[in-house]
Amino acid sequence: MTGSGRPRLRPARPEDAAEIVAMVRELAEYEKEPPSTVEASAEDFRRDCFGPNPRAEVLILEEGAAILGFALYYHNYSTWLGQAGLYVEDFYLRPPARGRGLGRMVMAGIAQIARARGCRRLELQVLDWNPARQFYERIGMEHRDDWCSYRIAEEGLERLASEVDDGSWSERP
């Protein structure tokens, strides 16, 4: 899977969208989920990661013509610090890229982006069984066991949102 040339990082381009979806499916399988659980399409990534107001950004790791991995990240905001941070939603390296120091290269690239943008933190979540936890600790990330992750989705989100469907609230004027 590796191509000729030295591994390098670059911002994703719209034409990478199908390959990003393929890697998200590979990531789902790695995380012990069937690839069919991935509903995202290349068009979703083209819509949300490119253009004048992207909701997320993607960093691509490539070697020659071969795409070896990606990291999708976006800004979050700390009210306590009064500054933005970067949140890494997904980070995936294909098997031929693992064990070569390339994961560190990707995270260092994201850290450079965070620093250039004045971000004070870089955050992510990792499954408790994932051996990548050791990697994150080696690069200086700290495990936070004092915070619990919560999520509401689909029916629960619809049910909660319907509680203010009385016209008393609107997102923006």
What CATH number is given to the structural domain containing 53?
3.40.630.30
87: annotated active-site residue: no
Range of the domain at 44: 7-144
Residue 136 lies in a domain: yes
Q: What is the mean pLDDT of residues 50-68?
A: 95
Q: What is the pLDDT of residue 167?
A: 66
C-beta of residue 63 within 8 angstroms of C-beta of residue 6: yes
Q: Check pLDDT > 50 for residue 160.
A: yes
Residue 22 lies in a domain: yes
Q: Check pLDDT > 50 for residue 123.
A: yes
Categorize the per-residue pLDDT at 5 as very low, low, confident or very high, splitting at 50, 70 and 90. confident
Residue 93 lies in a domain: yes
Q: What is the pLDDT of residue 165?
A: 66
Higher pLDDT, 162 or 59: 59
Residue 150 lies in a domain: no
Measured between alpha carbons, how far is 10 from 32 in angstroms, rounded to an integer? 28
Using only C-alpha atoms, what is the Rg of the chain?
18
Nearest CA among 12, 19, 75 for reference residue 49: 12
Measured between alpha carbons, how far is 87 from 123 in angstroms, rounded to an integer? 5
Q: What is the mean pLDDT of residues 131-144?
A: 92
Higher pLDDT, 29 or 2: 29
Residue 46 lies in a domain: yes
How much of the chain exceeds pLDDT 70, in percent? 92
Active-site choice (73, 87, 92, 136)? 136
Number of domains in the chain: 1
Q: Check pLDDT > 60 for residue 173.
A: no
Residue 169 lies in a domain: no
Q: Check pLDDT > 70 for residue 116.
A: yes
Residue 164 lies in a domain: no
Is this structure's pTM higher than 0.85? yes
Q: What is the pLDDT of residue 7?
A: 97
> Which tokens in the block code for residue 102?
């390339």
C-beta of residue 77 within 8 angstroms of C-beta of residue 28: no
